[in-house]
Structure 1
Amino acid sequence: MQLRTQAIVLSVRAHGEHGAVVRCLTPADGAQPGYVRGGHSRALRPILQPANSVVGEWRARTDDALAALTVELVHSRAPLHAEPLAAAALTWATALTAAALPDGQPYPRLYAALDGVIAAIEAAPGARGWAAALVRYELLMLAELGFGLDLDRCVVSGSADDLAFVSPKSGGGVSRVAAAGYEARLLRYPAFLRGKASGGGAADWDDILDGLAMTGHFMARDLLHGRAAEVLAARERLVEKLKRAIS
């Protein structure tokens, strides 16, 4: 096995006295783990930071063996780790990706989306410019791994009009009329994700928090249930930082 490609560093785990097992997301070959000799050295620690863009070269004698990995830095996001909100967002986005994706399965849309989220965080560390993109990334993650939400029509009436809520059980949209009297039991469907508004543009903070509550419910239930409590804790820290920042 030999692979050389650009990649995004997702996670770094100490292995032995000096080495590290590093997982990266590649454009065409999905998540790829590798052993980096001296991964905890002073020279390599700044390179092996989650969200950094690198060129990685993986070499293994067999497909089943953990590949030896060497990395060259393309673009560092180290300055962002000094910004509390930006650091929390990068930690969550990369930890989610590392925990959720199987090794070696291509997810080119997720690679492009994660690269875009990281770029948005870098352009606007204060969160206004990237929080909505993060919600969209979480929705895409659910869809790519087989847990996509059905948000085009109301699960009660079949109508595509005035969708304002999401069923926490089915993951389907619910119209305002069908939700009457049951609003407290449903998740809010934020306006920036609906119809033409879903293509981009600014979202208000209430909508962003509603979007995070919606995607967080389904990720905890379907995607990360029982195997990634520490990953969800990173998300909880991010949401709390966002709430404090806008209060």
Structure 2
Amino acid sequence: MLGGVTEPSGRRRGRSALLKKILRTEALLVRRVPVGEADLIVTLFTEARGILSAVARSARRSNKRLVALEPMHLLRVTLEEREQKDLAVLGEASIAHPRMHVVAALDRLEAAGRALRWVRSVAPPGTREPGLFATVNELLDALDTPAATRSPEAELATSGLRLLSDMGFGLVLDRCVRCSRVCPAEAPACLDALAGGLVCRACGGARLVLRADLRARVEAACAGDDEALRAEDTRIVVDLVEAVIQAHAGPAK
């Protein structure tokens, strides 16, 4: 039935074929919601199209096509999209790259889960984000390293700063974002998460104050130095990333 007119079966099949599109891509599972007796509504962060939502039919039953539908692992999925439909249909899901060490340790699992919540909050639907996709997969791979020298929280903090940059939320840490006045390197500074960086006292300041040494280390980490942050910095930086994401996208769900 199209526009209130029933088309002949052959024509109807041809019209359906034209409207259907098959997408094969690598993806991360960032949310799964049970629906009915056996289905799932899944949110995927895909390499090809960013955030996509799909129905996974019978996924909660024994289903060989969807047995790999788990978070943390890099998946290879096949999606069927139709015009004028909000949800795609997930046809197949297999594990392209397993990350067994992530799911075996609580601290790694918590760091990975928080990163995926950040992605779900900031990634726009239907828009390819290659930088963000690379950043989150690099983080998950680092968390999967058996003999890692850095803590999961340190990995999360460093990758969180990179994630902000990927999404255009990178912090301005050398000058006031309102008047462009340069902040002396040896001075503490007020940082406003919503404004996206430092706000000098003449422009109203902000509640969060960064010490000069911490600001220098955060700035170095933003510039790509993965070893810049100290152990005592990581919780502060993770909370800072969370605050910036909430300022732009609301609380991570």
Q: TM-score, normalised by structure 1?
A: 0.74
Whether 1:216 aligns to 2:236 is no
Whether 1:186 aligns to 2:209 is yes
Q: Distance in 1 between matches of 2:73 and 2:83?
A: 28
Kept in 1, the 8 Å contact 2:39–2:56? The answer is yes
Q: Secondary structure at the match of 1:97?
A: helix
Whether 1:52 aligns to 2:73 is yes
Instruction: Assess, with a 3 A threshold, how the Cα gap between structure 1 residues 54 and 37 changes in structure 2: closer, same or farther.
Output: same
- For structure 1, list consecutive stretches of 5 or more residues without a partner in the other structure: 232-247
Q: What count of residue pairs does the alignment treat as equivalent?
A: 223
Q: Which residue of 1 aligns with 2:160?
A: 138
Q: Percent identity over the alignment? A: 24
1:168 to 192, 203, 224: 192
2:85 to 47, 59, 64: 64
Q: In structure 2, what residue type is equivalent to 1:215?
A: V
Return the index of the structure with the highest Cα Rg: 2
Q: TM-score, normalised by structure 2?
A: 0.73
**Deviation for aligned residue 1:3:** 0.7
Where does 1:80-229 land on structure 2 (aligned, <5 Å)?
80-123=102-145, 128-154=150-176, 157-159=181-183, 161-162=185-186, 164-168=188-192, 170-173=195-198, 185-188=208-211, 189-195=214-220, 198-201=224-227, 203-225=229-251, 228=252
- For structure 2, list consecutive stretches of 5 or more residues without a partner in the other structure: 1-20
RMSD over aligned CA atoms reads 3.3
Q: In structure 2, what residue type is equivalent to 1:68?
A: V
Whether 1:29 aligns to 2:53 is no
Kept in 1, the 8 Å contact 2:42–2:55? The answer is yes
Q: Secondary structure at the match of 2:154?
A: helix
